[in-house]
């Protein structure tokens, strides 16, 4: 058979290629990379714009020569335009014209593209998106040459709040306009309000429940116009309205698309077409708790799915264990993390959730530098199974790794009561005899009597 | 029946009393506290001596009035001297003479005492131990009034390294003398050597494989004498040679003592005497992996056991889930943590362990402040079950909470391979798409082929 062809040079594609070579070193693996930037950490772009990362080249997870050392071939500026699933070939636009590349097995890792909300005026030179390296270069170029003094960020999700942080650090006056009633709608509103306080403390102006209809060029910048008139003026606008799966290639090849608009795969990361695998932001992801496909475009998930797809394309039989939607974001001095379900998500998956909020010190208050964590634990009223957790706290208070303890407990199907049985570590500068994670679980247990 | 009497005012005793009142608010609960300092954080004493904690009073986990709000009675300077398990009474020395206190059920939480190694000269006024508040006051008084310039610390375990840090911060020249070939013998020697480097960087003089035989008063201080002659001179000596369970009371009452010299309890924290429970540093602890009793005196475990003992003494049927020996210590800028088994411990429990060491960044190297973690993962060669982990890294690099992810995985009996399936959180300032925990597990998986 011919070798493995991977379409896509980001997290899922690169991981698939490396894993295929690792488990089957004799297999030919070719990666088609649409741009010149394979294996770049897209999640790092806000820190490039903030100035915390001085050189964009350091954003590469691995250099091209590191990648090539795996024995896989990386074809840069090779954009796949068509998959012929019957003849098992891919048409590819290259700098030297169109080529047809045969494959034995193929991994589609075309990722996602920024969502383009239906706002009039997005074609302005002063309107920016942020997803691929090209987007980042365009924005960075404008920031350094035109030196805008103010920015309107449309969207208050992960990228929105990270970019608010980044542009404030750069000295811009930032207005953030989001459709939801509180920022960061991926966490509960009481936690979103903590994030708003942090953003306000850094002079970010926040407009919630705001649906932007038009971005109009004015004599000296942009007017951002919502239903009730001009909501903000700014030198530039950044659209951070989430992403949509990039599935044109798969759809045209007759590959099944699911209810969230992304490619349907099984837990072996196989599509419905023979010898066609898919992974990353272009697929629907098995949710471990919901036990159904959801759309959860996350770098961590892309790596895991890529690893499974690569191993299986090389003849393996690995199963993707499912996502819990675990995520964390840093905004100024706060970290905000979640795993598993929030109340409404749990209800929609058939559970009887109760969510209890607790505050607890990150370490013993007598040791300098202690800060309070706000933790929301969601569990099932009947089975008492842990369903999810959300934490907000100081970014150096181990918020991310505390959510990981919850994520590990969730993975294993533990009850909220079981959390107190965990033998977690303790020293006064870093925790408490009952860690904050356990104190939050104990609050839930006290509130929800059996 | 009469109420519950708890002997001991530290972690296990206080937790037992509070839990008994919580689950059975109508029950009389009396706590006999030998000194005047109920519920003090003994783990915080090194930070009091270092000056990081300015006021010793803040070391109380709860104030006396907070404790009393539970409805339990706290009798200070009440030292239990005898348990009559047949007549169900405790003899108590009080400031007003000896009393006999009847009990319905009793919880023995007498804790531990500092081990007194067989060294000549320990009675010197310049020799100190550190365990109870009285020890801390005696040491602090000497430090502030006599202003010693140098200290010899006998013992290189947790208290030894914490006190080396504390006394250096206070400006003393410190020599640490330990019997083991590397410091912190609770972790593998390669990790102990990282701790030695950190101690040396702060001018701590380290004598390993050193068995101290005598501490002799000289005209201007102390001479610490080992097998090969004088090993160190210092103004004071601190003996940090671990602890031994305080079991005199239990032994005299005919309560069974185990092979480690501590009280034998079942997983309900019952001793062999009717209506007598025990918890904390005076008992042998069920090890969840070894599935046998070990001696693991840890504050976290004392809290858990106290909670179970208190609930069961109040009529409950809670089971102690077992310890994994999870622990963490901070030494200058390092945190050192472990959970589960090391190689030799796993072997002695009947496993076929393999330990693999990995270094991994705590977060993406392109984001400022990244530091390397050294992680040792132990797994069973045949079943591939995770058996333990050890981590050394910067104290702000979430070492403690990363060991908690391993501890949670261990609790659930996961394999090392399963660790890669965990949906852990990621943002570049706080982690990697595969967290360091997963990269370490993947190293093990690559090394130990099925």
Q: For residues B323-331, give the mean pLDDT.
A: 98
Decide if A330 and B303 are in contact by the 8 Å CB cutoff: no
Residue A344 has pLDDT above 90, yes or no: yes
Nearest CA to CA, how far is B255 from chain A (Å)? 27
Tell me which residue in B52, B399, B421 faces A367 most closely, judged by beta carbons.
B52
Cβ-nearest to A425 among B44, B337, B430:
B337
Residue of chain A minimizing CA distance to B326: A425
Q: What is the mean pLDDT of residues A423-449?
A: 97
Residues of chain B neighbouring A437 (CB-CB closer than 8 A) = 404
Residue percentage of chain B with pLDDT more than 70? 100
Q: State the pLDDT at residue A1.
A: 52
Q: Shortest Cα distance from B215 to chain A (angstroms)?
A: 31
pLDDT of residue A336: 98
Average pLDDT for A77-100: 97
Arithmetic mean of pLDDT, B67-86: 97
| pLDDT bucket at A2, cuts 50 / 70 / 90 | confident
pTM score above 0.90: yes
pLDDT given at position A229: 81
Contacts of B415 in chain A (CB under 8 A): none
Instruction: Provide the shortest C-alpha distance from residue B219 to chain A (in Å).
Output: 38
Q: How far is CA A337 from CA A294, A356, A406, B253, in A?
A: 19, 16, 11, 52
Distance separating alpha carbons of residues A440 and A357, to the nearest angstrom? 7
Closest-CA residue of A relative to B59 is A366
**pLDDT of residue B239 exceeding 80:** yes
**Alpha-carbon gap, residue A260 to A265, rounded angstroms:** 12
Mean pLDDT of chain B: 97
Give A228's pLDDT tier (boundaries 50, 70, 90). Answer: confident
Q: Are A414 and B414 an interchain contact pair (Cβ–Cβ within 8 Å)?
A: no
List chain A residues with CB under 8 Å of B395.
429-430
Q: Which residues of B touch A365 (CB under 8 A)?
A: 58
Q: Is the pLDDT of residue A51 over 90?
A: yes
Count of positions (residues) in chain B: 450
pLDDT in tens, B285-320: 999 999 999 999 999 999 999 999 999 999 999 999
ipTM over 0.90: yes
Residue whose tokens read 């690995």: A318
Q: Are B398 and A398 a contacting pair at CB < 8 A?
A: yes
pLDDT tens across B190-238, in order?
999 999 999 999 999 999 999 999 999 999 999 999 988 878 999 999 9
**B351: closest CA of chain A, how far (Å):** 21
Q: Give the number of residues written for chain A.
A: 450
pLDDT band of residue A107 (cuts 50, 70, 90) is very high
Residue B15 Cα, gap to closest chain A Cα (Å): 11
Residues in chain A closer than 8 A to B322 (CB atoms): 423
Q: Could you tell me which residue, A131 or B436, shows the higher pLDDT? A: B436
pLDDT band at A415 (very low <50, low <70, confident <90, very high): very high
| Rounded distance between C-alpha atoms, residue A280 and residue A278, angstroms | 7
- CA B449 from chain centre, in angstroms, equals 36
Query: What residues of A are in contact with residue B335 (Cβ under 8 Å)?
Result: 427, 430
Q: Chain A partners of B420 at a C-beta cutoff of 8 Å? A: 304, 307
- Chain A residue at shortest CA distance from B395: A430
**HSE toward the beta carbon, residue A375, CA cutoff 13 A:** 29
Q: What is the pLDDT of residues A155-203, one digit of tens each?
A: 999 999 999 999 999 999 999 999 999 999 999 999 999 999 999 999 9
Report the alpha-carbon distance of residue A304 to residue B386 in Å, rounded. Answer: 20
**What does the angle CA A61 – CA A65 – CA A68 come to, to the nearest 5 degrees?**
95
CB contact under 8 A, B58 and A365: yes
Does the beta-carbon distance from A407 to B400 stay under 8 Å?
no
Assess whether pLDDT exceeds 70 at residue B1.
Answer: no
Please name the residue that has the structure tokens 């403690």.
B400
Helices (H), ranges, A24-157? 45-50, 64-68, 133-145
Asked whether the beta carbons of residue B404 and residue A435 sit closer than 8 angstroms, the reply is yes
Q: What is the mean pLDDT of chain A?
A: 97
- Mean pLDDT across A126-149: 96
Q: Least CB-CB distance to B402: which of A303, A322, A401?
A: A401
The residue in chain B having the minimum alpha-carbon distance to the alpha carbon of residue A325 is B423
In B, minimum Cα distance to A402 occurs at B401
The single residue listed with the structure tokens 């908690």 is B404
- The string of pLDDT tens digits covering residues B157-189 is 999 999 999 999 999 999 999 999 999 999 999
Residues of B in contact with A408 (CB under 8 A): 405, 408-409, 412, 422, 424
B327 with A426: Cβ contact below 8 A:
yes
d(CA B213, CA B120): 6
Interchain proximity A395–B431, CB inside 8 Å: no
Displacement of CA B282 from its chain's centroid (Å): 12
Return the beta strands (E) in A295-364 as ranges: 327-331, 334-340, 353-361
Report the run of H or E that residue A122 belongs to, with start and end: none
Shortest distance between the Cα of A66 and any Cα of chain B, in A, equals 16
From chain B, the residues in CB contact with A400 under 8 A are 398, 425-427, 430-431
Using a CB-CB cut-off of 8 Å, the residues of chain B touching A11 are 433
Residues in chain A closer than 8 A to B423 (CB atoms): 288, 300-301, 304, 322-326, 339, 407, 411
Identity of the residue in A52, A401, A411 whose CB atom sits nearest the CB atom of B401: A401
Half-sphere exposure at residue B405, Cβ-oriented, CA atoms within 13 angstroms: 32
């Amino acid at each position: 058979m011919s070798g493995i062809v991977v379409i896509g040079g980001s997290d899922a594609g690169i991981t698939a290629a490396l894993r295929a070579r690792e488990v089957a070193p004799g297999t030919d693996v070719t990666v088609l990379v649409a741009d010149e930037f394979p294996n770049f950490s897209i999640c790092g772009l806000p820190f490039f714009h903030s100035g915390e990362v001085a050189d964009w080249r350091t954003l590469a997870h691995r250099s091209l020569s590191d990648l090539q050392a795996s024995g896989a071939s990386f074809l840069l500026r090779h954009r796949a335009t068509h998959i012929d699933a019957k003849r098992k070939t891919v048409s590819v636009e290259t700098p030297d014209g169109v080529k047809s590349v045969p494959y034995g097995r193929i991994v589609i890792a075309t990722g996602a593209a920024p969502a383009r909300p239906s706002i009039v005026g997005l074609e302005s030179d002063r309107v920016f998106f942020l997803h691929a390296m090209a987007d980042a270069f365009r924005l960075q170029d404008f920031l350094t040459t035109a030196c805008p003094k103010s920015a309107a960020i449309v969207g208050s999700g992960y990228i929105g709040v990270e970019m608010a942080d980044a542009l404030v650090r750069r000295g811009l006056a930032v207005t953030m306009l989001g459709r939801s009633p509180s920022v960061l709608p991926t966490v509960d509103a009481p936690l979103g309000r903590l994030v708003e306080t942090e953003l306000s403390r850094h002079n970010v102006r926040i407009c919630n429940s705001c649906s932007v209809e038009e971005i109009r060029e004015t004599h000296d910048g942009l007017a951002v116009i919502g239903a009730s008139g001009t909501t903000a003026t700014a030198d530039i606008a950044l659209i951070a309205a989430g992403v949509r799966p990039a599935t044109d290639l798969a759809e045209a090849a007759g590959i099944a698309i699911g209810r969230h608009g992304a490619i349907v795969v099984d837990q072996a990361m196989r599509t419905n077409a023979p010898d066609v695998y898919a992974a990353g932001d272009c697929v629907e992801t098995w949710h471990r708790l919901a036990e159904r496909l959801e759309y959860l475009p996350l770098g961590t998930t892309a790596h895991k799915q890529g690893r499974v797809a690569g191993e299986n394309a090389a003849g393996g039989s690995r199963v993707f264990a499912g996502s819990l939607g675990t995520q964390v974001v840093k905004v100024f001095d706060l970290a905000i993390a979640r795993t598993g379900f929030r109340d409404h998500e749990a209800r929609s998956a058939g559970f009887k959730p109760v969510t209890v909020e607790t505050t607890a010190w990150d370490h013993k208050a007598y040791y300098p530098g202690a800060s309070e964590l706000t933790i929301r634990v969601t569990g099932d009223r009947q089975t008492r199974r842990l369903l999810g957790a959300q934490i907000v706290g100081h970014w150096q208070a181990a918020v991310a790794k505390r959510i990981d303890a919850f994520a590990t407990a969730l993975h294993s199907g533990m009850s909220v009561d079981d959390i107190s049985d965990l033998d977690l570590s303790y020293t006064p500068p870093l925790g408490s005899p009952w860690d904050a994670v356990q104190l939050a679980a104990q609050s839930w247990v006290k509130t929800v009597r059996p």
